[in-house]
Chain A
Amino acid sequence: GNSVTQMEGPVTLSEEAFLTINCTYTATGYPSLFWYVQYPGEGLQLLLKATKADDKGSNKGFEATYRKETTSFHLEKGSVQVSDSAVYFCALYENNDMRFGAGTRLTVKP
Chain B
Amino acid sequence: KAGVTQTPRYLIKTRGQQVTLSCSPISGHRSVSWYQQTPGQGLQFLFEYFSETQRNKGNFPGRFSGRQFSNSRSEMNVSTLELGDSALYLCASSPTITGLVEAFFGQGTRLTVV
Q: What is the interface of chain A, defined by CB distance below 8 A to chain B? A: 32, 36, 41-46, 89, 93, 96-103
* Inter-chain residue pair count (beta carbon < 8 A): 45
Taking CB atoms and an 8 Å cut-off, the chain B residues in 48-106 that contact chain A are: 48, 55-56, 90, 92, 98, 100-106
Q: How many whole Å from A1's CB to the nearest CB in chain B? A: 10
Interface size range on B against A: 20 to 34
**A43 in contact with B108 given A96-B56, A103-B43 (CB within 8 Å):** yes
Q: What is the interface of chain B, defined by CB distance below 8 A to chain A? A: 4, 33, 35, 42-45, 48, 55-56, 90, 92, 98, 100-108
**Which secondary structure dominates where chain A touches chain B?**
strand
Pairs across A and B, CB under 8 Å, 27 listed? A36-B105, A41-B107, A42-B107, A43-B4, A43-B90, A43-B105, A43-B108, A44-B43, A44-B92, A44-B103, A44-B105, A45-B104, A46-B102, A46-B104, A89-B43, A93-B101, A96-B56, A96-B98, A96-B100, A97-B45, A97-B56, A98-B33, A99-B45, A100-B43, A101-B42, A102-B42, A103-B42
**Which secondary structure dominates where chain B touches chain A?**
strand
Q: How many whole Å from A59's CB to the nearest CB in chain B? A: 13
